[in-house]
Each structure stands twice: as C-alpha cells, then as structure tokens.
Amino acid sequence: MSNLTGDSTVSSSRRGRGRVVGVPSQCWCGVAVVEKISKSDFNPYRRYYRCSYAATHKLENDNHIFKWVDEALLNEIDKLGAQIRKIEEAMEKIEHGREEIEKMMFESLKMKLENEILERVEDALLESKANTRNMMICGVIGCVLMIGLVKLLG
C-alpha cells in the first residue's frame, strides 16, 4: 500500500526531497524546517535540514524536506558564485560603457581643441599676412617717399 501511494505522489516527491536547492526555510507542507544531527551509521553526526512535522513524527520514506546541511551550504556557495559572476559581468559592461563615454568625450574634446587651434592658427596667419601687407605698404610708401625726396633734392 505504501508503495502505491509512493507511486501516485511522484510529483510531490519531486517537490519535496530532491529538488530543494540551497538552505530550505520551509517544507512544501507549510511547516518550518529544523536542523538535526544524523545518528545513522552511514552519516554519523552529519547535520541535515528536516521538515519539523516529519521530524517530530519520525516519518521515514516520506516526501517532506530532507537536505544535508553541507550540500545545502555548497548550493548556497554556488548560488553566491553565480551571483558574483553576474555582478562582475554587469561591472564589466558598466566599465566598458564608461570607457566608451570617456572615449567619446575625449574625441569631442580633441576635435574642439583642434578646431580652436586651427582657428587660432588661421587668425595668426591672417594677422601676420595683414602685418606683412602693412609692412609692404609701408615699405612701398617709404620707397616712393624716398624716391620723391631724392627727385626733389636732385
């Protein structure tokens, strides 16, 4: 008879014993989970989590939560590891994004600077051109005046 009920409750057995990942806080039956110490010959003094209902009623071969503490803690460490990897990936993305933004800002700053320098160089060139032209005009006027003076004196 117990075999029959076992067969008909395959889904709940999946829900109970095997499927729990990490430290269980509550059994699927709704009661809390307690921490016990094994007294079996196979696992002496090994700690385990157990549905408190199943523990107080000393149920055996049932579907209520049973989970070795060390395995549960390993699950938790795995979960933490996965979380850390996720965080690291997110951080890498953020870092990459920041680098992109910095690169863009640097590029635009460089372009701005280049434009400014170009403008200044052009201004300076224009100014120097104007200066040389002025000097040339002065020189020409000077020459004309000199020639005029020489002609006047001569």
Which spans of this chain sit near Zn ion (rule: CB under 5 A)?
Answer: 27, 29, 51, 53, 64
- Terminal Cα distance for the chain, rounded: 146
* Choice between 32 and 77, CB closer to Zn ion: 32
Of 21 and 149, the one with the shorter C-beta distance to Zn ion is 21
Shortest reach from residue 56's CB to Zn ion, in Å: 10
**Cβ(67)–Cβ(49) below 8 Å:** yes
Residue identified by tokens 């006027």 is 141
CB of 73 to Zn ion, least distance (A): 21
Whichever of 5 and 152 has its CB closer to Zn ion, that residue is 5
Strand-strand pairing, 66-68 and 33-37 = unpaired
Q: Minimum distance from CB of 26 to Zn ion (Å)?
A: 8
Query: Which C-beta is closer to Zn ion: that of 17 or that of 47?
Result: 17
C-alpha separations of 68 from 20, 44, 47, 50, 121 in Å: 10, 12, 6, 9, 78
User: What is the smallest separation between the CB atom of 52 and Zn ion, expressed in angstroms?
Assistant: 8
> Is-contact 24 72, C-beta < 8 A?
yes
